[in-house]
Amino acid sequence: MFRGIKFLPGETKVDFVGKRFIALFFSVLLLGSTGVLLLTKGLNYGIDFSGGIQMEVRSDKPVDLHDLRTRLNDIGVGEIGLQGIGETGREVMIRIPAFDNEVSQNAALKAVRDTLGPSFEDRRTEVVGPKVGEELIRDGILATILAMVAISGYIWLRFEWHFGVGGMLALIHDVVLTIGFYSITGLEFSLTSVAAVLTVAGYSINDTVVIYDRVRENLRKFKKMPVKDLLNLSVNETMSRTILTGGTTIISVLAIALFGGEVLRGFALAMILGVVVGTFSSVYIALPVLIYFKLRNTDAIAPLEAEAEPGAKQG
Give the residue extent of every domain in the chain. 17-43+133-304, 52-128
Q: Domain 17-43+133-304: give its CATH superfamily.
A: Multidrug efflux transporter AcrB transmembrane domain (1.20.1640.10)
Dihedral over alpha carbons 163, 169, 171, 172 (to 10 degrees): 160
Nearby residues of 131 by Cβ (< 8 Å), 6 or more positions away: 51
The pLDDT score that the predictor gives to residue 245 is 86
CA distances from 72 to 35, 50, 69, 88 (A): 35, 20, 5, 21
3-state secondary structure of 266: helix
Question: What is the predicted pLDDT for the residue at 36?
Answer: 92
Q: CATH 3.30.70.3400: does it fit domain 52-128?
A: yes
Contacts of 141 (CB under 8 A, 6+ apart): none
pLDDT at site 5: 53
Q: What is the pLDDT of residue 143?
A: 86
The DSSP secondary-structure symbol of 17 reads G
Cβ pair 81, 186 in contact under 8 A: no
Q: What's the Cα-to-Cα distance from 20 to each of 88, 173, 207, 249, 311, rounded to whole Å?
A: 47, 15, 18, 26, 39
pLDDT of residue 9: 55
Instruction: Taking the CA atoms of 216, 221, 224 and 226 in sequence, report the sign of the dihedral they define.
Output: negative
The list of the chain residues with pLDDT below 50 reads: 1-2, 298-309, 311-315
> In DSSP terms, which residues pair with 54 in a beta bridge?
95, 126
C-alpha to C-alpha distance for 182 and 185, rounded to whole angstroms:
5
Q: How many CA atoms lie within 13 A of 82 on its CB side?
A: 20
Q: What is the pTM of this model?
A: 0.75
Q: Which DSSP string corresponds to 69-137?
A: HHHHHTTSSSPPEEEEESSSS-EEEEEE---SSHHHHHHHHHHHHHHH-TTEEEEEEEEE-HHHHHHHH
Please tell me the predicted confidence (pLDDT) of residue 32.
92
